[in-house]
Amino acid sequence: MSFVRENFIWLALSVLLILTPGLGGFAPAQTVNDTIVSKPKPTYISHSSSKATILAAVIPGAGQAYNRKYWKIPIVYIGVAAAGYAIYSNQKNYKEFKNNYIASTDTLESTVYLGNLNKAQLITGIDYYRRYRDLSVLALLAWHGLTIIDANVDAHFFNWDVSEDLSLRIRPRALWVGQMKPGLGLSLILNNK
C-alpha cells in the first residue's frame, strides 16, 4: 500500500512541476546574459533657473519665453500696461490739480484760475492723485516681481515629469499594534509604471 501511495505522490509532484510554468518540466531553458540591460535614462535639457530669473528681471516676459511658456507673455504685458496706464492717468490728474492750486494761490495776474473748486478741494485732489500714482508704481513693481518669481519657479520645474507613468494609490490597511490590538490606517503606494 505504501508503494502505491509513494508513487502517487511522486506522480502528482511531477505533474505539478510540468504544468507549472517556470518551475521545471518542459519549460523552455532560460539563458543568462552576462550584461546588464537598463532602461534608457530620460534626456534632460540643461535649463538654468538663474538665467530665467535674470532674463525676467531685465526684460518683462523674457523669462517666460526662456521657459517656453509663451502663453504667459501677453498676461505679463497686460499687467505692465494696466499699471502703466494707472500711473499715467494719476500723474496727469495730479499735475492738473497741482497747477490749478498754484494758479489759485499765487498773486500773479498772468495765472488765473477759472475752476469752481476751492483750495481745500484742490489740496484733497492733489493728495488723492499723488497717493494713487504712488500705489500704481508699487503695483507695477509688485507685478514685475511676480513675473520674476513665476519665471524662476517655472525654470525649477522645467524638467519635472508629469507623465501618465506616475500613479498613487490610497488603500485602507488593518494594523496590529503591540499586544495584538487592532488599528486602522492608510497605505500609500507610489508606482512608476
Q: The pTM is what?
A: 0.61
Comparing CA positions, the residue from 155, 190, 151, 156 lying closest to residue 170 is 190
List, for the chain, all residue ranges whose pLDDT scores fall below the cut of 50: 22-27
The per-residue pLDDT for 55 is 96
pLDDT at 56: 96
- pLDDT value for 92: 97
14-28 pLDDT, tens digit each: 655 555 554 444 445
* pLDDT tens-digit readout, 99-134: 999 988 887 877 777 788 899 999 999 999 999 999
The whole-number pLDDT of residue 25 equals 43
pLDDT at 27: 45
pLDDT at 138: 98
User: Could you tell me the residue ranges of all domains in the chain?
Assistant: 49-156
